[in-house]
Amino acid sequence: MNPQAQAMKPQIELDRGRHAAPQLYELLRAQIVSLELLPGAPLSRVQLSGEFNVSQTPVREALLKLTEERLVDVFPQAATRVSLIDIRFAQETHFLRRAIELEIVRELALADAAGLVIELKSLLQQQELLRDKPDLDGFTEADQAFHRCMYRAVGREALWTLVRSRSGHIDRLRRLHLPASGKLDRIVNDHRRIIAAIESGNAADAQDSLRNHLSGTLEYAEQIRLEHPQYFTGP
């Protein structure tokens, strides 16, 4: 986003009854992951302070947390920028998430998950509506809610927090891939198969469906890099 566009943005009002830094972190993270703030975009503490009407201290804290998640790069005495997408880091996160979620869907398929199935089907309906609009940001949020729901159902929401803290690079890769023809349909169909396998108690099918689902973006990682080389780093 260029400086002129930034200057034209309306000031964002924070909830003054809550600490500013966590709110800034969530807002900036959402802008980065949705590609509203593109990889490589400069970030100015002074400008962000003005945009959010806060001091530089909470801005600094929010940027520090984003740096820990490798979504922001700070170059001392130089600049602060949104990090470029690192495919290797995305692959590492994919490995971690797949290992966790394969066990989660197995556990759900072997349990009495009737209540969860109802909730997952409701989230799937939301995704279908958002797909048909289309609303890519809303669709992404519903997709995240679908997976988080499964973590919560087995009492492993802390692991969702861990995965999310590492997911910024693969989430941005997925966001670049989302407009591809048939991508939204594939996600919806994958989720439908996961639900069916859990509902029928078929752990093997649940794991196969989940494994296929999570591989959907990384299969095209090099193609996405070729289409958007300016957003990527590393070999």
pLDDT tens for 200-213 read 999 999 999 999 99
Domain with CATH 1.20.120.530 in the chain: 86-230
- Under DSSP, the state recorded for 69 is T
CATH fold of 86-230 reads Four Helix Bundle (Hemerythrin (Met), subunit A) (1.20.120)
Tell me what the pLDDT averaged over the chain comes to: 90
Decide if 201 contacts 107 (C-beta within 8 A): no
Q: What is the pLDDT of residues 134-144, one digit of tens each?
A: 899 999 999 99
Per the model's pLDDT, the better-predicted residue between 235 and 114 turns out to be 114
Q: What is the pLDDT of residues 89-124, one digit of tens each?
A: 999 999 999 999 999 999 999 998 889 999 999 999
pTM for the model stands at 0.87
- Is domain 3-84 given the CATH code 3.40.50.2300 in the classification? no
Q: How confident is the model at residue 170 (pLDDT cuts 50, 70, 90)?
A: very high
The stretch 207-224 carries a mean pLDDT of: 92
- Under DSSP, the state recorded for 135 is -
Domain with CATH 1.10.10.10 in the chain: 3-84
Per the model's pLDDT, the better-predicted residue between 63 and 8 turns out to be 63
Helices (H), the chain: 3-8, 20-33, 45-52, 56-68, 87-109, 114-132, 136-153, 157-166, 168-177, 183-200, 203-214, 221-227
Q: What is the pLDDT of residues 7-29, one digit of tens each?
A: 334 456 766 667 888 899 999 99
Decide if 234 contacts 86 (C-beta within 8 A): yes
